[in-house]
Every structure is written in C-alpha cells, then in structure tokens.
Amino acid sequence: MRRLAQIYGVFFRSSFVRELEFRANFFAKVIENIIWTVFFALLVTVIYANKPEIVGWNRGEAFVLASTVFLLMALTDAFFSSLKEIPEHVRRGTLDFIMTRPIDSQFWVSVRRFNFNQVGATLAGIIMLIYGVLNGGLSPALIDWLAYLLCTVNGLFIYYGIEMTMMTLGIYFVRVDNLWVLGDTMMTVARYPVNIYSLAAQRFLLYVFPLAVIGTIPARQLIHGATISDLALSCAWAVGLLLFSRWFWFHALRSYTSASS
C-alpha cells in the first residue's frame, strides 16, 4: 500500500504539472463545470417554483440529492478519468506496456491521471449540498453526516465499478469510447428520487442495477436519518462491484492478444 501511495503521488504531481502547461484551459474548464452546475440548480428551482413538494421531496431535499450525484460524478472524473483511455490503449497497443510494468495494471489504468478540471464542479456541488440542507430545513446529527459520508464514498466505488466494467469491454470490442458517455447518461436517473418510479423500477434500481444506491441512499441519510438497512445495502453494492470489476478486468486481460497479434 505504501508503494502504491508513492506511485499515486507521482501520478498526481505529473498531472498537476501538465495542467500548469495549459492554465487557460484549466480555468476555462473549471468555469464551465461551475456554469453547468448552476444551470442544473436553476432547473431544480424552476421545477419546484409552483409546488412545495414532489413525491414527498421538497426543494431543499432535491438539492441534497442532486448535489450528491454531482459530487460523485465530479470526484469519479477527477480520480478515475484515465478509465476513458482503456479502449485507446487497446487500439494503440500501449496496453502491452502497462501489462509488463511492475505495478498493478488496474491501478495504473484507473488513476494514471488526475483531472483537476473537476475542482470547480466539486466546489459547486458542496455549496449546493449546504444550500439544500439549509433550505430544506434539515438538522442532521453527526451520525447522519457520517452515514452520508460513508454512503457517498460507497456510491463513488459503485460508480467506479460500473465504469471500470464498461470500459473493460474495450478489450473485447475495442470501439467502445462512448460507453463513458453512457455512464454519464445513466447518472441522470440517479439525480431523481427513486420513489418517482414504479415499485418494480424502484426494486430494480436498488437491488439489480444500483443507480438509486448512488444518489437516493446517501441523500436519505441526511433527510430521514441514518439507517442500518441503507448502510448495509450501500456497503454490499460497493464491495460487490469493486470485486466484480477487478475480476472482470483480469478475466478480460486473459483474452487480450496484444497489438502485435
């Protein structure tokens, strides 16, 4: 673990140096991400302009949910943006060099680059979360904040597991670059309360394809208080998808025939 931490430090510093080479682009991306977050905040405001509640969620609670999903998307793109490059590594044959390096290949393809462009979106998401708590009249206790933090970290791992699994398909099909966009599109579902869907859809989003576990479950810890069942479900999905994505990555590598084949 210490060696991996040192290597990640090298990755982080090299990413920072790269950003310094294109400072104007960095600031433009930060501003762009803030603007997109503001636009979505305005959308939530418009939706709740004439109705104090929708399916039991008031405007402040909707902001808590939306900001949670924004934070997860921003943090995933910040820490794991290198996942997008897996199909490119396969096409160019650079995956061969990654496999021969004395380092865990999944670690390399996951965190090789840190995306500093998401700093703006992260800050905007935190501000939106604080606004939602205050505007929704919420008074979460310390245990609720801790439960929220745990479920949000679990949501990050769940989202990573889904993205890692999808991008690993690049080893089999090569041209799957747009799967990352598909992942972003799926998060649109997570931005809305799970109880707006039918009972069958709710169960599907909780127990089959855990998009509700990414957004609704963390938000509920602040809105309704921490619950053991939500924490258990969140932890189970995080551990399960991390293990599955790792198994699938190495299983796919056994099918990889290298660029020279």
pLDDT(175) > 70:
no
CA angle 10, 15, 17 (to 5 degrees): 95
Residue ranges of domains in the chain: 2-253
pLDDT(259) > 70:
no
Q: How many CB atoms lie within 10 A of CB 156?
A: 20
Q: How far is it, in rounded angstroms, from Cα 251 to Cα 254?
A: 5
Q: How far is it, in rounded angstroms, from Cα 6 to Cα 107?
A: 13
3-class secondary structure, 36: helix
Q: Which of 28, 2, 12 is nearest to 79 (CA)?
A: 12
CB contact at 8 A, 148 and 232: no
Q: How far is it, in rounded angstroms, from Cα 140 to Cα 199?
A: 28
**Residue 53 carries which DSSP code?**
E
State the pLDDT at residue 177. 60
* Most trustworthy range by pLDDT among 71-75, 102-106, 242-246: 242-246
User: What is the pTM for the complete model shown?
Assistant: 0.87
CB contact at 8 A, 11 and 107: no
Tokens linked to 138 = 């919420």
Following CA atoms 95, 81, 153, 121 in sequence, which dihedral angle do they give, to the nearest 10 degrees?
Answer: 180
Lowest mean pLDDT across 5-9, 69-73, 143-147, 158-162 = 5-9
